[in-house]
Amino acid sequence: MRPCQSTVIADEENLGRAAQRLYISRPALPYALKSLESELGVRLFDRHAGGASATHAGREIIAEALLTVRQSERVSAAAERHRRGETGVLRVGFEASGAGELTTRARAEFARRHPPGVRVVPRRYDWGQEAAALREGLVDVAFVWLPNDLTGLRSEPVHTEPRVVGLPSGHPPAGRDEVSPLDMGDEPLMWTERAPRGWVDWWAVNPRPDGSSPRWGPTNGNAEEMLEQVAEGSATCFAPMSMAGYYTRPDLTWVPLTDAEPLRTSLAWADGTDSNLVRGFARVVRELAAAAPGSGPHQR
């Protein structure tokens, strides 16, 4: 058994389901696990009628295994870049519409200032996962929607934009010039289980200005799933204004949302990084943000 396979067992807490995910036979997995525990000299899991739970030693060893796997992936990625003759790759994380036009303009301007051997690779994440991607070394720099956990990261605010309500076309509020969270009444609101509760509540404006809570609608795993359910009439959603431009479709209507904090986006990267590419990208974003119409201390 490879140590990383134990992470699947920890996730599933069931050997049968873990075997299915690993595409190996059910009888082979306990044997492989027993061999690994014998090799390491410690018990990784406690077996019981309900499945298998990681021991204290197991949890620590699994965490170390994950770090090793991620480092191995970074080593392989570095080797691949050199095989292709590239002098550098900058992986830029974002979610949905990112920081609006600033995201695309920054990537284009950064590429213009650097030789062809430097490549900018966009990496999209869903519902607050871009900060975790930075900490795990999956991206080098990211546009992070706030609120978010920026522990272990350096960051600076670069973009602010108002929010909107996404509604199915023909919905009564869709014809209004603006709506507030209280105007939504008992309209079901989309949400996600993939983000921390504080993140979900901020986006949902929960509690509302009068202390009430929204009526929770269906869940979703990404922006496309969210908008598909809004368009079919299952629920409504709150989103940044840039999504109204990035996700235009005839069965959706976007209405400005009042009485709600605007979305603030920060540019973030790993604390202690010494990458010329990251510093160069941050400089480009800083310059473009400062030159944007309406920029100033209240925007930054």
pLDDT in tens, 16-61: 787 777 667 777 777 777 887 888 888 878 888 778 888 888 788 8
> Are residue 175 and residue 250 in the same domain, yes or no?
yes
Q: What does pLDDT average to over the chain?
A: 86
pLDDT in the model for residue 162: 97
Decide: helix, strand or coil at residue 144: strand
Question: 100: left (phi > 0), else alpha (psi -120 to 50), else beta?
Answer: left
258, pLDDT greater than 50? yes
Whether residue 129 is found in the same domain as residue 269: yes
According to the model, what pLDDT value does residue 173 have? 77
Question: Is there a single domain that holds both residue 65 and residue 90?
Answer: no
In a domain, 282, yes or no: yes
The answer, yes or no, to whether residue 297 has pLDDT greater than 90, is: no
Among 52, 79, 106, the domain boundary falls at 79
Judge contact between 130 and 140, C-beta under 8 A: no
Kindly state the tokens that stand for 155.
């960051």
Q: Which residue has the higher pLDDT, 260 or 275?
A: 260
pTM of the model: 0.69
Number of domains in the chain: 3
Instruction: Tell whether the model's pLDDT for residue 1 goes beyond 60.
Output: no
Mean per-residue pLDDT, 212-227: 95
Domain that holds residue 179: 163-256
- 267 in any annotated domain: yes
**CA atoms 274, 277, 282, 287: torsion sign:** positive
Distance from C-alpha of 169 to C-alpha of 167, rounded to nearest angstrom = 6
pLDDT at 42: 86
Confidence tier at 73 by pLDDT (50, 70, 90):
confident
Q: What is the rounded CA–CA span in Å between residue 144 and residue 263? A: 10
Cα separation, 76 vs 257, in Å, equals: 46
Q: Are 171 and 237 in a shared domain?
A: yes
- Asked if residue 180 is part of any domain, the answer here is yes
